[in-house]
Amino acid sequence: MDFQLTEEQLMIQQAARDYAQRELIKDVIERDEKAIYPADHIRNLAELGFLGMLVDPKYDGGGMDTISYVLAMEEFSKVDSSIGVIISVNNSLVCYGLEQYGNEQQKETFLKPLARGEVTGAFLLSEPGAGSDATSQQTTAIDNGDHYLVNGVKNWITNGHTASPYLLIAQTDRAKGHRGINALIVDRHAKGISVGPHENKMGMRSSDTHSVQFTDVVVPKENRIGDDGFGFKFAMKTLEGGRIGIASQALGLASGAYELAVKYAKERKTFGQEIIKHQAIAFKLSDMATQIEAARFLCLKAAWLKDTGQPYGVASAMAKQYTADMAMRVTTEAVQVHGGYGYVKEYHVERLMRDAKLTQIYEGTSEIQKIVISRAIENDDI
Ligand code: CAA
């Protein structure tokens, strides 16, 4: 077992850290407050290769491994987890889905611009009545010979306004249940698509979250990913990798809050000494450090399994559930260490706490991860 990161992994981690600590930090409070989409930063990060970092260079990607992706996601999310989710959705859900399951023509047309970061993508699975219960798709993609005709509404779509293409999950044949679901590549500017208003969220406020309505939208047959009826499995397989991204985002939220709490505890004095010398605070920091380290190992283990071609669905569910729940605890404690200062925006930790809440909800709630893990236990898969 080798815990040593390679030179290349350390370089990628440093590049992400430098950008986050020098650039993202400058205007992150304003972006959060006014819910401003970080368009300039996304352009810069695309130039640095982070938007398609996992994609094979033959499709214009960075050819980096999943461990590097975990390291970079942690660094960005320490400062701005809205940037984290934009990068994660583009890399893990959209680029990975296309690279793994798309055909050569689809990769040429859609994957390459995504990998270069010229465009971003979105993953449209959730609906008003199909979040955790993802097989209950109401959006239909009716087979009309050479095209599908799409009708329905998708909810909570990250990159919903800015992205094109969309990867859309929709029901073609209801009689076949989840085996009648397809995954389609859809041009966001196609006739019949209307994007709802920006969701006014508690946290991750500068990520671009919208509902999207489809009214008689024509999608060419050649835009279907995989065989007819592959759409639900496509979504599940793709989410296995997505959950490593969101786990790493939660890791960054926790480690970012912890670093701020340590710094504050070394400066702030009460009862004649720095508060880090009070056992009540020292033990909080000790618990935070240990839990963050445990979560980091879960994230890196899931990434290593993926990089070495081994099954990683259960590992990614464990990483996501533990890290998201841990991030909620650790960011809340970081606010507590800061006392009153933790409750105002200038000290950053209140934002990290609000952002952490979403990691327990999207890409499968913590409860859904427990379903995945407990079914694996029942089937003797772990
Ligand atoms: N890989 C391959 N196939 C899988 C799979 C996996 N990981 N998980 C399930 N399947 C297959 C099953 O084998 C089954 O197929 P067969 O019948 O042919 O064998 C089929 O999918 C249905 O599986 P289940 O019977 O287990 O389905 P279920 O209704 O019990 O649901 C679930 C399973 C795990 C709860 C699933 O619905 C789920 O993951 N729900 C959460 C959805 C989710 O994560 N949504 C996030 C939205 S995306 C997002 O948030 C993006 C963003 O913008 C940030």
Calculate how far, in angstroms, residue 151's C-alpha sits from the geometric centre of ligand 1. Answer: 22
CA atoms within 13 A on the CB side of 312: 26
Q: Beta-strand (E) ranges in the chain?
A: 122-124, 140-143, 147-158, 166-171, 181-186, 193-195, 209-220, 269-270, 273-274
135 Cβ closer than 6 Å to some ligand 1 atom: yes
Calculate how far, in angstroms, residue 162's C-alpha sits from the geometric centre of ligand 1. Answer: 26
Residues 6+ apart with CB under 8 A from 133: none
Active site residue 363: yes
Euclidean distance between CA atoms 96 and 57, whole angstroms: 13
Whole-number pLDDT of residue 367:
98
Whole-number pLDDT of residue 246:
98
Give 295: exposed, middle or buried? Use CB within 10 Å, 0-12, 13-18, 19+: buried
Q: Whose structure tokens read 């533990």?
A: 322
Task: Return per-residue pLDDT of the chain as tens, 382 residues.
Answer: 889 999 999 999 999 999 999 999 999 999 999 999 999 999 999 999 999 999 999 999 999 999 999 999 999 999 999 999 999 999 999 999 999 999 999 999 999 999 999 999 999 999 999 999 999 999 999 999 999 999 999 999 999 999 999 999 999 999 999 999 999 999 999 999 999 999 999 999 999 999 999 999 999 999 999 999 999 999 999 999 999 999 999 999 999 999 999 999 999 999 999 999 999 999 999 999 999 999 999 999 999 999 999 999 999 999 999 999 999 999 999 999 999 999 999 999 999 999 999 999 999 999 999 999 999 999 999 8
Which of 77, 167, 178, 367 to mutate to test ligand 1, by most ligand atoms within 8 A of the CB atom? 178
Provide the terminal-to-terminal Cα distance of the chain, rounded to the nearest Å: 20
Euclidean distance between CA atoms 288 and 332, whole angstroms: 11
Calculate helix-pair angle for 25-34, 349-359, nearest 10 degrees.
60
DSSP state of 89: I
Residue nearest to atom 50 of ligand 1 (CA): 363
Residues 6+ apart with CB under 8 A from 304: 66, 67
Which of 89, 233, 243, 373 to mutate to test ligand 1, by most ligand atoms within 8 A of the CB atom? 233
127 Cβ closer than 6 Å to some ligand 1 atom: no
Whole-number pLDDT of residue 1:
86
- 153-179: per-residue pLDDT in tens? 999 999 999 999 999 999 999 999 999
Calculate how far, in angstroms, residue 355's C-alpha sits from the geometric centre of ligand 1. Answer: 25
What torsion, rounded to 10 degrees, do the Cα atoms 367, 368, 371, 376 define?
-130
Calculate how far, in angstroms, residue 374's C-alpha sits from the geometric centre of ligand 1. Answer: 14
Calculate how far, in angstroms, residue 140's C-alpha sits from the geometric centre of ligand 1. Answer: 18
Whole-number pLDDT of residue 192:
98
Whole-number pLDDT of residue 17:
98
239 Cβ closer than 6 Å to some ligand 1 atom: yes
Euclidean distance between CA atoms 97 and 123, whole angstroms: 10
Given 47, 118, 363, 378, the catalytic residue: 363
368 Cβ closer than 6 Å to some ligand 1 atom: yes
Residue type at position 23: E
